[in-house]
Each structure stands twice: as C-alpha cells, then as structure tokens.
A = this chain, B = another copy of it.
C-alpha cells in the first residue's frame, strides 16, 4: 500500500475487530516496522509484550472499565450522553493485545542527543508505534490505542520492572471494515481542525501567506 494511502486510511479502531488470529509472518512484519523507527542516539529503547492470555486481558479490561467510569463522572449533559455511545477498547474482541514499553536505561546514561531532552526516549517508542499502525493498516489490520488505564496497575499485571515505562497498550486484529472518518468524528465528538490555522511562519502566531494557505487547505494525498 502507498504510504500516503496508509496515512489517510489509518484509523483508531474500537468497534469493527474480528477474532481471527494474525499469522506469525504478518505480525513479524508489523513489529519489524516498529523496530525500524528512528530512536534517539540509536537507543532502540522499546520492548513489545504480546498478550494472548484471556485471563490477563480480563484483568486489564477491569481496570479500563473502572477508568471509564471515572471519566464519565467528569462529564455533564450532552457530552456524558455522547460518551456513553463511544466504545473505547477492543481488549477481548481482538486476537492479540500488545503493550509497548520504553527502557530509559538501555545503553547507559550517555545516549547521544538525550541529555537535553530525556523524553526523546519515550518519543522514539511512539515513532515506532506509528510505523506499526501504518504497517498494520496496509495488511488490513486495525489498531486501537487504549489509554483509559492507570499505568502502574497495568505494569503490575504484566510484571514490567519499575524503571521501564509503559508507553502504549494496543488492541490489534483484522477488521470487518475501516471507517471512512475517525470514529470520534462520526459520533459527533469532534471535528478535524483546518490545517492552515495550525501552521506559523518563523515565530509562534505568524500566519502563513495566502499561497501557502490555499495549498495547505486544498492539498490532497
């Protein structure tokens, strides 16, 4: 699949998962895509925990449901109602969940480029996650990132060492279809911002000139 097509058609999937297993070779390609991401000072700080166990996933789902309630109780009126129709995870609907971690101690303290921006260690892992997401899309596989969870609770369930950071918890599987638009847009939760409003020139707040503005708002990929 063309890189622009994968970027355009990638979705955060919650509702359309199938239980069909992912063959080892396809899974390997998706994980290799992550492993080929850039990393600060070539530190490759990531690990991937493949969670097949239903028992483990049920324990994680309990935590997610608890956090869903916490969030719901912060909302009011229409937003609360909208939220009750939004599915936030596919933990048991998928053949596989993947927890992705970042080990800030890998390769010792002098990782090139990290002393000024230690968060680039975590960011490296996130760059790898986008590679996975696009690779999966090109294989007809959907990914949903679940963030309704207390990380320390999940780390305990998965036995992740204290100094290692949990970066993402993904549900992954083949799908019946990829929605045309992001689910949160379809459900009326939010809209795509206008790109040209997000671009400045030379300093914060300086809008782009007319030519570039037109190009930004009309370009197709």
Q: Which A residues fall within an 8 A CB radius of B?
A: 1-8, 10, 12, 24-25, 27-29, 31-33, 35-38, 40-44, 46-53, 56, 67, 70-71, 74-75, 79, 83, 86, 88, 101, 107, 110, 112-117, 119-120, 122-123, 126-127, 129-131, 133-135, 137-138, 145, 147-151, 158-161, 164, 167-168, 182, 184-185, 189-190, 192-193, 195, 198-205, 208, 211-212, 215-216, 219, 221
Contact = CB atoms under 8 A, between A and B. Distances in A.
A31 B199 contact: yes
A183 to B, nearest CB: 9
12 contacts: A27-B215, A28-B216, A31-B195, A48-B199, A50-B202, A71-B115, A74-B115, A114-B147, A116-B149, A116-B150, A123-B167, A158-B203
A78 to B, nearest CB: 12
A160 B42 CA distance: 29
A116 B147 contact: yes
Main secondary structure of the interface of A (DSSP, over half): mixed
Contacts of A48: 198-200
Given A4-B29, A33-B221, A120-B147, A113 B126 contact: no
Contact of A148 (B51, B113, B198): B113
Given A12-B38, A67-B116, 14 more contacts: A3-B3, A8-B36, A28-B215, A28-B216, A41-B190, A42-B184, A44-B192, A71-B115, A74-B115, A86-B112, A113-B148, A116-B151, A122-B123, A158-B204
B28 A193 contact: no
Contact of A88 (B113, B120, B215): B113
A129 B127 contact: yes
A217 to B, nearest CB: 9
A200 B216 CA distance: 43
A51 B32 CA distance: 34
B46 A200 contact: no
A44 B84 CA distance: 22
Given A50-B202, A198-B48, A216 B31 contact: yes
